[in-house]
């Protein structure tokens, strides 16, 4: 392409268009005026003005998770950029592709403590996959291209581009849309065929094979391959929190989420299996609990992950495979289908199906003994919402009630903060999810403590006609912390009562949203229907008890079989 004479701001926008960017979430500032002037003059990229930069990052995150595309957020220099950090750390820990564009003071002023200067490059380095401080306008085409390439390939993640004001304002002759990338950046995506063959042989001869599906299954679009392998082997499937939706949770081989707040039978299956195929997971402490020697103690451990650093980091494995999950599963399936060396697993399959039925019964029985209002509200959402509805969650009890009791049937339909556990994530993530999936119903299952952290962006929803529905499990407490204080700190409820909190119905109405309060689960269907019919952003205040607890759970220091609160689970 012939060289064009453009300002840095024009170059940035042209490169964003070339990368297929359709929407960006951001807030302008003084050093970004050149960029926002160009945004004003074009209509290819929709800009959504957020009310807080952290929400911009979370919205880009939610958009990326539900759409499978790279999310984009924009913030000005100094406090604008530092407000992004929590959102970028959140996306980074959950391997979500996000490109963040931040403004910076002019290059000659960097390091002088100029007005609204912050060392964004160094501050964000620990929470990004890569970042750039651009000092020449001529470098912008290659930098923007590389930012998207790095964010969306290999182990997906966050890339930040710091843009000094003079770099955006200056004019340069450049070749747009370069295709070359960093010579040194070559993520390994092709799995070793010797290792995939060894895996196939191990799974074929195992008597009790189990598949552990992490978020990597969803990000690599390997859900069909996962289901095919499970059905071919007669293997049960358990998921991590990030892997929820990798297999339909009503599938007879699915045992749901494992780990600290997982299903009893998912954890039992891990304890009983003799071969564990872990796909796209980092074996976090919330999955394995605190006694690693009790995690799949009798199993041959196989770990497939695109990031070499995750292999043998937390769990020592017998067969490591570095590469893309989809490609690895494809190789394993081809070997099994060719050699047809599957041993008899009828006893294990029957065991898996019995455990699945026990889980299914617990979830579908809305008034099961020992259930709480929080349980019942989430179970009621199962009855009301269709399979394409997108659920986002805040963090705490609301998150675990949703993860435990909401049955997800499709990938990219359950969006939550995994590694960082960020309160306030769910609502702005729902904004991004709704923009990424405009024809789907989007519901944020929130806690009152989390929602109060980011509720100002109701204004964003109203202004931009983004009809998300927030269902608040309202107990006037920081529920998860209170639960721990009750169970492990002799009921000393230190600073977990929220005290005087707003009337959420009036708060929502003040922003121009639809709002209602519900005190009984059977009233949720009509109210939720009214919310969707309104076409407005909506807040539904669900009154629940302060003593509601999400059980069972693994207590501190316990192993994966050390769950407490299992009394209400059917024993098989």
Judge whether 128 and 92 are in contact, CB under 8 Å. yes
Distance CA 18, CA 41 (A): 17
Other C-beta atoms lying within 10 Å of the C-beta of residue 295: 23
Judge whether 161 and 77 are in contact, CB under 8 Å. no
Beta carbons within 8 Å of 428's beta carbon, 6+ residues apart: 50, 54, 55, 56, 58, 59, 62, 454, 457
> Which residue from 290, 283, 287 is spatially nearest to 305, judged by alpha carbons?
283
Distance CA 248, CA 400 (A): 18
Among the listed residues 50, 242, 400, 480, the single catalytic one is 480
The encoded tokens of residue 32 equal: 């970004």
The DSSP 8-state label assigned to residue 127 in this structure reads G
Among the listed residues 129, 142, 165, 326, the single catalytic one is 165
Residue 543 phi, psi dihedral angles, 5° rounding: -80, 120
Residue with tokens 């964010």, as numbered in its chain: 151
> Which residue from 286, 253, 433 is spatially nearest to 360, judged by alpha carbons?
253
Q: Which residues face 239 on adjacent strands?
A: 213, 257
The encoded tokens of residue 309 equal: 């650093």
User: What does the CA dihedral 262, 268, 274, 277 come to, rounded to 10 degrees?
Assistant: -10
The encoded tokens of residue 196 equal: 């995939």
Sign, Cα dihedral of 169, 175, 177, 178: negative
Among the listed residues 4, 116, 291, 456, the single catalytic one is 116
Rounded to the nearest 5 percent, the helix, strand and coil shares of the chain are: 45, 15, 40
Among the listed residues 53, 117, 310, 380, the single catalytic one is 53
Distance CA 99, CA 230 (A): 35
Q: How many residues does the chain have?
A: 572
The yes-or-no answer on residue 165 being catalytic is: yes
The yes-or-no answer on residue 116 being catalytic is: yes
The DSSP 8-state label assigned to residue 63 in this structure reads H
Beta strands in 9-97 (DSSP E): 23-26, 46-49, 71-75
The yes-or-no answer on residue 249 being catalytic is: no
The DSSP 8-state label assigned to residue 497 in this structure reads B
Residues designated as active site: 53, 115-116, 165, 480
């Amino acid at each position: 392409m012939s060289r064009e004479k453009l300002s840095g701001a024009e170059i940035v926008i042209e490169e964003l268009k070339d990368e297929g960017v359709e929407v960006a979430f951001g807030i302008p500032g003084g050093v970004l005026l050149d960029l926002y002037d160009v945004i004003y003059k074009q209509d290819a990229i929709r800009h959504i003005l957020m009310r807080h930069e952290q929400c911009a990052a979370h919205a880009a995150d939610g958009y990326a998770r539900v759409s499978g595309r790279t999310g984009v957020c924009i913030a000005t220099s100094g406090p604008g950029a530092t407000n992004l950090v929590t959102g970028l750390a959140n996306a980074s820990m959950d391997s979500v592709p996000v490109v963040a564009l931040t403004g910076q003071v002019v290059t000659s002023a960097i390091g002088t403590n100029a007005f609204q200067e912050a060392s964004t490059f160094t501050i964000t380095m620990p929470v990004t996959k890569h970042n750039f401080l651009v000092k020449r306008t001529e470098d912008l085409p290659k930098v923007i291209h590389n930012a998207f390439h790095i964010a969306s390939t290999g182990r997906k993640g966050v890339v930040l581009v710091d843009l000094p004001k003079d770099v955006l304002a200056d004019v340069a002759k450049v070749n747009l849309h370069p295709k070359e990338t960093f010579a040194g950046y070559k993520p390994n995506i092709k799995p070793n065929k010797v290792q995939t063959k060894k895996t196939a042989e191990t799974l074929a001869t195992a008597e009790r094979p189990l598949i552990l599906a992490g978020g990597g299954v969803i990000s690599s679009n390997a859900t069909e391959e996962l289901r095919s392998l499970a059905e071919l082997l007669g293997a049960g499937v358990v998921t991590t929190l990030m892997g929820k939706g990798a297999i339909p949770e009503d599938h007879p081989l699915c045992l749901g989420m494992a780990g600290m707040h997982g299903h009893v039978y998912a954890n039992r299956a891990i304890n009983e299996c003799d071969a564990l195929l872990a796909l796209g997971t980092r074996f976090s402490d919330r999955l394995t609990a605190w006694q690693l020697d009790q995690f799949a103690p009798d199993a041959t451990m196989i770990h497939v992950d695109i990031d070499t650093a995750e292999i043998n980091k937390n769990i020592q494995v017998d067969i490591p495979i570095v590469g893309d999950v989809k490609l690895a599963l494809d190789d394993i399936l081809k070997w099994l289908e060719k050699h047809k060396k599957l041993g008899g697993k009828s006893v294990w399959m029957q065991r898996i199906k019995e455990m699945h039925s026990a889980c299914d019964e617990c979830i579908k029985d809305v008034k099961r003994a020992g259930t709480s209002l929080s349980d019942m509200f989430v179970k009621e959402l199962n009855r009301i919402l269709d399979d394409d509805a997108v659920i986002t969650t805040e963090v705490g009890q609301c998150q675990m009630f949703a993860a435990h009791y909401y049955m997800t049937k499709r990938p990219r339909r359950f969006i939550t903060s995994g590694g960082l556990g960020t309160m306030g994530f769910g609502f702005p993530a729902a904004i991004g999810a709704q923009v990424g999936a405009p024809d789907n119903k989007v519901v944020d299952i929130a806690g009152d403590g989390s929602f109060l952290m980011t509720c100002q962006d109701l204004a964003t929803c109203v202004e931009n006609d983004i009809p998300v529905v927030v269902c608040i499990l309202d107990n006037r407490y920081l529920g998860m912390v209170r639960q721990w204080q009750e169970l492990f700190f002799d009921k000393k409820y230190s600073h977990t009562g929220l005290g005087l909190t707003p009337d959420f119905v009036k708060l929502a109405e003040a922003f121009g949203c639809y709002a209602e309060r519900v005190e009984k689960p059977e009233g949720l269907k009509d109210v939720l229907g009214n919310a969707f019919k309104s076409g407005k952003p909506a807040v539904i205040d669900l009154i629940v008890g302060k003593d509601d607890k999400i059980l069972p759970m693994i207590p501190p220091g316990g192993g994966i079989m050390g769950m407490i609160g299992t009394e209400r689970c059917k024993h098989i």
